[in-house]
């Protein structure tokens, strides 16, 4: 059995994420260090030191205070990756308000839903769509203030008076509200407390590889609206005095290694698809990124082939993590134990993850399939669902939060992720995880991406179906996909049907919508 040391939670009564990430470094040499860097393909590189970020977030908090935005009020953010995003997010936290991060890709109708559902009191929006969004949001009764990022926000911040100290929030006070895809077709709000940052500290210790001097430069390839980025790409590193880096611009496979080199990044965080694209579309290697010493991945399963190829070309592994909006990342490949390809890793110390029968709540035996359950008192868990009691009653039972995801533990304590029960494919008496099949198919050199579903080919007869995007210029055939599956997978797991597609339906955070895929084929 592989084990990790124990963990003792130390959660103070008073805690504010922004004060801990920014103001705590004032008066130390870290204050002069770059805190956030945004490399925009159009406008160039912009940055704020810890001292400048502390001042600007205090001004944003004071702006909210002066305009009557109270502690607990929601502040909706719709911006691209830019310096205004962390300023607004952390500044709202300093005020004791609740930032609501959202994607720049949201339409006006989608933003109206978030504004109404959250009861947002204020909005900060990008200049390019500000006029359209103001018009669309005119009838949202709770929305009292709208600021445009960039020059308008600069003027507003410059005009505020003396700044009050950060609001003395309790660790259990609401901190931020994030929306995830709901089973009803509408996004559902997940409300986190300020203690969520402390709940992620086992990940900082065992998944990250932070240098003792806090001098790391962490580059995350995602967008700030994703909790994966707000954690690993912003607040986790800032808490330890590290520099954080994001990019705004086209997602060009060749750009990532150039950006790592340009900013001397030491830690790179991305999704498996991006690592795969770098390997398939570039010839970059370790010599092109001499400062890089630690790589991390989450968001979807990492294939063993990508792991092996990255290690061969860049001389280091990729440490995979598993998380969810309700609990961030709580399982990972730890630096101190061997990586087991195909597994998501082990529960991090402090997160007493168990696999249980959701009907009886009895723990399942090692090797058996069970639902991932997390103790109700885990500091990283959400406070509640914004929509109220119904979803909380479904997710919380007894002493446990039921994640809805299924997995199995092997004899050494490694967790093998199976996915949602609705995603599992029942075929010929077997239960097949789409994640396992996808991980294998993505290793095919002519497959750029794929998703796997169950497809009913005859009444009562369900087979494994692969929806495959070919590499540009590749002459990939359906038979080649099926043959590769037969060669590399057990017969009951191998796809019996394949569809060559141009795209895969995804959520705003890039996760495949398998229900939509099943709808395309009528299965």
Burial class (CB in 10 A: 0-12, 13-18, 19+), 474: middle
pLDDT digits (tens, 9 = 90+) for 88-118: 999 999 999 999 999 888 888 889 989 999 9
Give dist(CA 274, CA 294) in Å, integer: 16
Q: Provide the strand spans (E) within 103-210.
A: 122-125, 145-148, 174-180, 188-193
* Distance (Å, whole) CA 119 – CA 221: 31
Placement of tokens 């990008």 in the chain: 126
Distance separating alpha carbons of residues 477 and 455, to the nearest angstrom = 19
pLDDT of residue 389: 56
Exposure b/e, 37-73, CB count within 10 A at least 16 = b: bbbbeeeeeebbbbbbbbbbbbbbbbbbbeeebeeeb
Distance CA 439, CA 284 (A): 23
Query: Is the separation of the CB atoms in 481 and 498 below 8 Å?
Result: yes
Buried b (16+ CB within 10 A) or exposed e, 82-101: bbbbbbbbbbbbbbbbbbbb
Lowest mean pLDDT among 174-188, 237-251, 290-304: 174-188
Q: 449-462: per-residue pLDDT in tens?
A: 899 999 988 776 78
Query: Token digits for 489?
Result: 């997978």
Check whether 135 has a pLDDT greater than 60. Answer: yes
Percent of the chain clearing pLDDT 90 (strictly above): 72
Q: Is the pLDDT of residue 157 over 70?
A: yes
Helix, strand and coil in the chain, % to nearest 5: 30, 25, 40
Please report the pLDDT score of residue 301 as a whole number.
Answer: 83
The dihedral formed by the CA atoms of 472, 478, 482 and 483, expressed in degrees to the nearest 10: -80
Cα gap 331→354, rounded to integer Å:
11
At 512, the pLDDT band (50, 70, 90 cuts) reads: confident
Say which range, 44-48, 249-253, 343-347, 367-371, has the weakest mean pLDDT. 249-253
pLDDT of residue 392: 67
353, 9 Cβ separation under 8 angstroms: no
Contact 15, 174 (CB under 8 A): no
Q: Please tell me the pTM assigned to this model.
A: 0.85
Q: Quick check: 212 pLDDT over 90?
A: no
Residues counted in the chain: 523
Q: What is the pLDDT of residue 184?
A: 46
């Amino acid at each position: 059995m592989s084990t990790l040391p124990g963990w003792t939670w130390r959660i103070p009564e008073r805690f504010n994420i922004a004060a801990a990430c920014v103001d705590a470094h004032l008066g130390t040499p870290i204050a002069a260090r770059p805190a956030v860097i945004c490399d925009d393909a159009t406008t160039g590189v912009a940055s704020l030191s810890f001292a400048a970020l502390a001042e600007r977030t205090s001004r944003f908090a004071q702006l909210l205070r002066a305009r009557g935005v109270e502690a607990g009020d929601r502040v909706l953010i719709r911006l691209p990756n830019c310096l205004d995003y962390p300023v607004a997010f952390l500044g709202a936290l300093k005020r004791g308000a609740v930032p609501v991060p959202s994607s720049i890709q949201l339409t006006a109708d989608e933003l109206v839903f978030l504004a109404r559902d959250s009861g947002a009191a204020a909005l900060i929006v990008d200049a390019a769509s500000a006029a359209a969004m103001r018009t669309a949001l005119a009838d949202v009764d709770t929305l009292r203030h709208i600021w445009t990022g960039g020059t308008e926000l600069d003027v507003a911040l410059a005009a505020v008076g003396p700044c009050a100290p950060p609001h003395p929030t309790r660790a259990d006070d609401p901190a931020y509200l994030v929306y995830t895809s709901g089973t009803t077709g509408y996004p559902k709000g997940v409300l986190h407390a300020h203690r969520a940052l402390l709940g992620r500290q086992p990940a900082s210790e065992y998944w990250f590889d932070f240098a003792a001097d806090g001098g790391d430069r962490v580059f995350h390839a995602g967008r700030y609206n994703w909790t994966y980025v707000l954690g690993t790409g912003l607040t986790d590193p800032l808490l330890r005095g590290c520099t954080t880096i994001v990019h705004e611009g086209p997602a060009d496979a060749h750009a990532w290694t150039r950006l790592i080199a340009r900013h001397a990044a030491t830690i790179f965080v991305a999704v498996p698809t991006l690592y795969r694209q770098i390997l398939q579309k570039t010839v970059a290697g370790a010599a092109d990124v001499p400062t890089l010493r630690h790589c991390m991945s989450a968001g979807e399963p990492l294939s063993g082939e990508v792991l092996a190829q990255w290690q061969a070309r860049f001389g280091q592994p990729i440490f995979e993590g598993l998380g969810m909006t309700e609990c961030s990342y709580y399982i990972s490949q730890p630096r101190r134990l061997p990586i087991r390809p195909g597994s998501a890793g082990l529960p991090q110390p402090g997160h007493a993850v168990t696999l249980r029968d959701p009907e009886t709540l009895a723990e399942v035996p090692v090797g058996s399939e069970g639902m991932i359950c997390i103790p109700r008192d885990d500091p990283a868990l959400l406070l509640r669902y914004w929509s109220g009691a119904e979803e909380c009653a479904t997710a919380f039972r007894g002493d446990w939060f039921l994640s809805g995801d299924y997995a199995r533990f092997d004899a050494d304590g490694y967790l093998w992720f199976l996915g949602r029960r609705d995603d599992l494919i029942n075929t010929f008496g077997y239960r097949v995880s789409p994640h396992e099949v996808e991980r294998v198919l993505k290793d095919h050199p002519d497959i750029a991406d794929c998703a796997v579903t169950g497809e009913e080919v005859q009444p009562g007869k369900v087979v494994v179906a692969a929806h495959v995007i070919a590499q540009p210029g590749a002459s990939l055939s359906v038979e080649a996909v099926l043959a590769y599956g037969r060669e590399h997978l057990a017969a009951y797991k191998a796809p019996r049907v394949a569809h060559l597609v141009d795209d895969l339906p995804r959520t705003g955070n890039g996760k495949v919508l398998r229900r939509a895929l099943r709808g395309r084929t009528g299965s």
